[in-house]
Amino acid sequence: MGFTDKLRSRWTQANSLVCVGLDPDPAKFPDAYADDDDALFAFCRDIADATAEYACAFKPQIAYFAAHNGGEAALQRLIAHINAEHPDVPVILDAKRGDIGSTAEQYAVEAFDRFGADAVTLNPYMGRDSALPFLQRDGKGCVFLCHTSNPGARDFQELIVSDGNGGGEPLYQRIARAIAGEWNGANNCALVVGATFPEELKVIRAIVGDMPLLIPGVGAQGGDVEAVVKNGRTSDGTGLMINSSRGILYASMGADYAEAAARAARELRDAINRYR
């Protein structure tokens, strides 16, 4: 089953819009992992196993693996574990890749063949030809940055671009329109929209129809769950992958870290479902 169908099935099956972000930072690991050489893998595996029931997707952030020698092997084993033990939960590799076509081909191999992800996050700045090696991968998902969650999102993403006829719209809306149109021929696109910008989320939802949206920024970054759900949901009450990383991963530093993560994921699911 392709990424988009897998995600839609999972939304219904798990009755959850929670995306569990896997951003392993050894400085924040529970004491149980203090001297564990395999902690990157083992900690994330434990979190994945504890939270899978409440997850519509897992999102490992590759930077947290790439900062360490051997990190890629840990990431590879983690995704293999998820694919084997939780095959109904799609895996989005958060990598924000973007390069010319010949290089993008290599990045597509990295995300889909080497790591076995169902989808990957991508940066659209270099244009459609840079995205084609991903878009053309049968059954794989392409999650493009649109309006990100950080304050610097305002620097360029909100600049007003001319439509050539005297009108204008913010750059992020132009990008949303392009991706929802020509780029989405295989119906395998999604967009990243930060929870910290709920008004922009509402506009983007109106542009893209029922395209899935990946929403970082609730929890540590301060995004509001009610505003996200009300402004971002589709008419059937789905359409969103609302990500939490730190709030789930580091819910407890004690021996109960897995139970605490499960509780945090369940509570976020329930908080979201109150507004669907």
By CB under 8 A, name the binding residues for its own copies.
23, 61, 63-64, 66-69, 71-73, 76, 96-104, 106-107, 109-110, 113-114, 123-131, 145, 148-157, 159-162, 168, 171, 174-175, 178, 216, 221
Residue 249: is it exposed, middle or buried by C-beta count within 10 angstroms (0-12/13-18/19+)? Answer: buried
Cβ neighbours of residue 222 closer than 8 Å, sequence gap 6 or more:
196
Say whether 86 sits in a helix, a strand or coil. Answer: coil
Distance of CA 170 to the CA centre of its chain: 23
CB of residue 234 vs its own copies: minimum separation in angstroms? 26
Nearest to 131 by CA among 114, 150, 145, 118: 145
CB closer to its own copies, 149 vs 244: 149
CB of 198 closer than 8 Å to CB of 231: yes
CB of residue 53 vs its own copies: minimum separation in angstroms? 27
Strands (E), the chain: 18-22, 57-60, 92-97, 119-122, 141-147, 160-162, 168-170, 189-193, 213-215, 240-244
CB of residue 36 vs its own copies: minimum separation in angstroms? 19
CB of residue 12 vs its own copies: minimum separation in angstroms? 30
Token readout for 256 is 């109960």
CB closer to its own copies, 155 vs 199: 155
CB of 65 closer than 8 Å to CB of 117: no
Nearest to 30 by CA among 217, 266, 261, 244: 261
CB of residue 193 vs its own copies: minimum separation in angstroms? 13
Is 28 a catalytic site residue? no
Query: Looking at 6, 28, 96, 230, which residue is catalytic?
Result: 96
CA distances from 51 to 27, 107, 133, 138, 218 (A): 21, 29, 32, 28, 17
CA distances from 88 to 2, 3, 8, 54, 244 (A): 11, 10, 10, 12, 19
Amino acid of residue 271: A
CB of residue 122 vs its own copies: minimum separation in angstroms? 10
3-state DSSP of 18-38:
EEEEECCCHHHCCHHHCCCCC
Give the active site residues.
96
